[in-house]
Structure 1
Amino acid sequence: MTDPFGAESLRAATLVAWASSPTRLREDAATESDLVRGGYRDRVLTELAQNAADAAARAGVPGRLDVRIGVGGLHIANVGAPLDESGVQALSALRVSGKTEGVGRFGVGFTAVLAIGDEVEVRSTSGSIAFSAARTGAEVEQAGIDPPESGVPVLRLVWATDAPPASGFDTEVVIAPRAGVDLDDVLTAMRGEATDILLELTALQSIRIGGDEFVRTERDLGGGLTEVTVGDGVWWQFTAPSARWLVPVSGGSVVPVAGDVLRAPTRTDEELTLPALVVASADLQPDRRRILPGAAIAHLANGYADFVAALPESQRTALVPLPGFAAGAVDEQLRESVLRELVDHPWLPGADGELLRPRDAAVLPGATADLLEILTDAVPGLVSPELSGQADARALAAVGVHRIGLARLAELLAGQDRAPEWWGRLYEALTPLVIDALAVEELSAIPVPLADGRTVTGPRTVVLGEGVGGAGVDWVRLVDPAASHPLLARLGAAQVGALDVLSDPALRDRIEALWDDEGDADELAAAVLPLVAEVSTGPLPTWLGGLPLPDMFGELQAADELLLPGAPLADVLASESPFATVADRVVEEYGAEALRALGVGWGFAVLRAELPTGPDHDLDDESDWWATLSDDPELLVAVRDLDLVDPDRWPEALTLLASDPETAALLADRDGYSAWWLRRHAGVGGVPLAALRSPDDPTFDGLLDPLDHPHADALSGALAADRIERTETAELLLDRLADPQRTPAPAVIARTHRLLAEATAAGVLDLEALSPPTRVRAISGAVVDAGDAIVLDRPWIASVVPADRLVVGDLASAGALADLLDVAPSSEAVRGEVLGTGRAAEWVREPGAVLASVTTGRPLPAGEVVVHDALTVRLSGAVSGDTAVPWWVDEAGRTHVDAGRLDPGVAGAW
Structure 2
Amino acid sequence: MTDPFDTAALREGTLLAWRGSPTRLREDVAAEADLVRAGYRDRVLTELAQNAADAAVAAGVPGKLRVQLLADGLSIANTGAPLDREGVHALVALRASGKSTGVGRFGVGFTSVLAVSDDIELRSSSGSLAFSSERTRIELASAGLEVPAAGAPVLRMAWATDERPPGGFDSEVVLRLRPDVNVDVLLARFAAEAVDLLLELPALESIEIDGARLRRTERDLGGGLTEVTIGPNTWWQYVTKPARWLVPVVDGRVQPVNGDVLRAPTRSDEEVSIPALLIADVPMQPDRRRILPGTGLTDLALGYADFVAALPSDQRPDLVPLPGFARSEVDAVLREALLRELRTQSWVPAAGADAGDLAPARATIVSELTPELAEVLADVVPDLVDPQLCGSRHASALAAVDVHRIGLARIAELLSGHDREPLWWHALYTALEPIVVDAIAVEELAAVPVPLADGRTVTGPRTAVTGTDLGHALGDAGSALDWVRLVHPDAAHPLLNRLGAERATAGDLLSDPALKARIEEIDYDDPAAATELATVVLALVGLAGPEARPAWLGELPLPDADGELVPADELLLPGAPLADVLVEESPFGTVDSDLVARVGEESLRALGVGWGFPVLWAELPTGPEHDLDDEEAWWNTLDDDPETLVAVRDLDLVDPACWPRALTLLADNPETAATLTDRDGYTAWWLRRHARIDGRPLAVLRAPADDTFAGLLDVFDHPAAPALASALAPAVVDDTELAGVLLDRLADPTRTVTPDVVTRTHRLLGAAAATHVLDLDELVLPTRVRSLAGTVADPEDALVLDRAHLGGVIPPERIVLGAFDTAAALADLLDLPLASTAIDAEILGDGEVSSWDREPGAVLACAALGMPLPSGSVVVHDDLVVRTRGAVEGDVAVPWWVDDERRTHLRRWRVEEAP
- Shared fold (TM-score, shorter chain, > 0.5): yes
Of 431, 434, 437 in structure 1, the residue corresponding to residue 433 of structure 2 is 431
Q: Does 1:89 align with 2:89?
A: yes
Partner residue, 2:859:
854
Partner residue, 2:731:
722
Distance 2:72 2:815 in 1: 161
| Offset at residue 278 of structure 1 (A) | 0.7
1:447 counterpart letter in structure 2: P
Distance 1:286 1:612 in 2: 101
Partner residue, 1:460:
462
Q: Measured at CA, do residues 184 and 726 of structure 1 come closer, stay the same or move farther in structure 2, by a change above 3 Å? A: closer
Partner residue, 2:305:
305
Q: Measured at CA, do residues 901 and 569 of structure 1 come closer, stay the same or move farther in structure 2, by a change above 3 Å? A: farther
Distance 1:893 1:79 in 2: 148
Partner residue, 1:294:
294
| Offset at residue 351 of structure 1 (A) | 2.5
8 Å CA contact retained: 1:867, 1:896:
no
Q: Measured at CA, do residues 96 and 594 of structure 1 come closer, stay the same or move farther in structure 2, by a change above 3 Å? A: same
Matches within 5 A, 1:241-640: 241-352=241-352, 353-469=355-471, 470-514=478-522, 520-536=529-545, 538-640=547-649
1:772 counterpart letter in structure 2: P
Distance 1:572 1:872 in 2: 67
| Offset at residue 115 of structure 1 (A) | 2.6
Q: Does 1:839 align with 2:845?
A: yes
Deviates more, 1:503-512 or 1:349-358: 349-358
Q: Does 1:700 align with 2:709?
A: yes
Q: Measured at CA, do residues 188 and 454 of structure 1 come closer, stay the same or move farther in structure 2, by a change above 3 Å? A: same
Q: Measured at CA, do residues 147 and 853 of structure 1 come closer, stay the same or move farther in structure 2, by a change above 3 Å? A: same
Deviates more, 1:520-529 or 1:893-902: 893-902
Q: Measured at CA, do residues 272 and 804 of structure 1 come closer, stay the same or move farther in structure 2, by a change above 3 Å? A: closer
Matches within 5 A, 1:764-775: 764=774, 770=780, 772-773=782-783
Deviates more, 1:868-877 or 1:318-327: 868-877
CA displacement 1:780-824 (0-9 Å, x = unmatched)? 44557x489645558788677766676666677778878877889
Unaligned 5+ runs, structure 2? 472-477
Of 742, 747, 763 in structure 1, the residue corresponding to residue 756 of structure 2 is 747
Distance 1:457 1:389 in 2: 28
Q: Measured at CA, do residues 899 and 268 of structure 1 come closer, stay the same or move farther in structure 2, by a change above 3 Å? A: closer
Deviates more, 1:811-820 or 1:360-369: 811-820
CA displacement 1:298-349 (0-9 Å, x = unmatched)? 2111111211221222222222222222222112222221222222222222
Deviates more, 1:589-598 or 1:522-531: 589-598
| Offset at residue 225 of structure 1 (A) | 1.0
Q: Measured at CA, do residues 823 and 275 of structure 1 come closer, stay the same or move farther in structure 2, by a change above 3 Å? A: closer
CA displacement 1:154-194 (0-9 Å, x = unmatched)? 33333433333321222223333344445454333222211
Distance 2:820 2:118 in 1: 151
Q: Measured at CA, do residues 209 and 728 of structure 1 come closer, stay the same or move farther in structure 2, by a change above 3 Å? A: closer
Normalised TM-score (structure 1) = 0.88
Deviates more, 1:722-731 or 1:813-822: 813-822
8 Å CA contact retained: 1:840, 1:867:
yes
CA displacement 1:196-234 (0-9 Å, x = unmatched)? 111011111111222111110001111111111111111
Distance 2:718 2:15 in 1: 151
Q: Measured at CA, do residues 396 and 733 of structure 1 come closer, stay the same or move farther in structure 2, by a change above 3 Å? A: same
Distance 1:814 1:119 in 2: 146
2:490 counterpart letter in structure 1: A
2:516 counterpart letter in structure 1: R
Q: Measured at CA, do residues 591 and 144 of structure 1 come closer, stay the same or move farther in structure 2, by a change above 3 Å? A: same
8 Å CA contact retained: 1:833, 1:890:
no
Partner residue, 1:224:
224
CA displacement 1:409-438 (0-9 Å, x = unmatched)? 444444444443333333333333333333
Normalised TM-score (structure 2) = 0.88
Matches within 5 A, 1:746-895: 746-753=755-762, 755=764, 762=772, 764=774, 770=780, 772-773=782-783, 777=786, 779-782=788-791, 786=794, 790-791=798-799, 793=801, 838-841=844-847, 844-845=849-850, 850-857=855-862, 885-886=893-894
The secondary structure found in structure 2 opposite 1:358 is coil
RMSD of aligned Cα (Å): 3.8
Of 678, 684, 693 in structure 2, the residue corresponding to residue 675 of structure 1 is 684
8 Å CA contact retained: 1:82, 1:125:
yes
CA displacement 1:59-84 (0-9 Å, x = unmatched)? 22111122223466332222222222
Distance 2:223 2:404 in 1: 28
Deviates more, 1:428-437 or 1:735-744: 735-744
2:30 counterpart letter in structure 1: A
8 Å CA contact retained: 1:344, 1:357:
yes
8 Å CA contact retained: 1:323, 1:398:
yes
2:374 counterpart letter in structure 1: L
Distance 2:907 2:115 in 1: 159
1:548 counterpart letter in structure 2: P
CA displacement 1:124-163 (0-9 Å, x = unmatched)? 3333333343444444444444443434433333343333
8 Å CA contact retained: 2:799, 2:833:
yes
Q: Measured at CA, do residues 767 and 135 of structure 1 come closer, stay the same or move farther in structure 2, by a change above 3 Å? A: closer
1:477 counterpart letter in structure 2: R
| Offset at residue 693 of structure 1 (A) | 0.8
The secondary structure found in structure 2 opposite 1:67 is strand
| Offset at residue 284 of structure 1 (A) | 0.8
Distance 2:809 2:159 in 1: 177
Of 637, 645, 655 in structure 2, the residue corresponding to residue 646 of structure 1 is 655
8 Å CA contact retained: 1:129, 1:160:
yes
Distance 2:839 2:127 in 1: 175
* Count of residue pairs brought into register by the alignment: 895
Distance 2:147 2:817 in 1: 166
CA displacement 1:211-268 (0-9 Å, x = unmatched)? 1111100011111111111111111111112110111111222222222111111111
Distance 1:588 1:320 in 2: 72
Partner residue, 1:906:
none
8 Å CA contact retained: 2:523, 2:530:
no
8 Å CA contact retained: 1:611, 1:635:
yes
2:434 counterpart letter in structure 1: P
Unaligned 5+ runs, structure 1? 904-910
Deviates more, 1:590-599 or 1:46-55: 590-599
Deviates more, 1:237-246 or 1:645-654: 645-654
CA displacement 1:731-761 (0-9 Å, x = unmatched)? 5445544555532223223444555566677
Distance 1:388 1:140 in 2: 74
Q: Measured at CA, do residues 798 and 137 of structure 1 come closer, stay the same or move farther in structure 2, by a change above 3 Å? A: closer
2:585 counterpart letter in structure 1: E
Partner residue, 1:210:
210
Distance 1:551 1:30 in 2: 123
The secondary structure found in structure 2 opposite 1:38 is helix
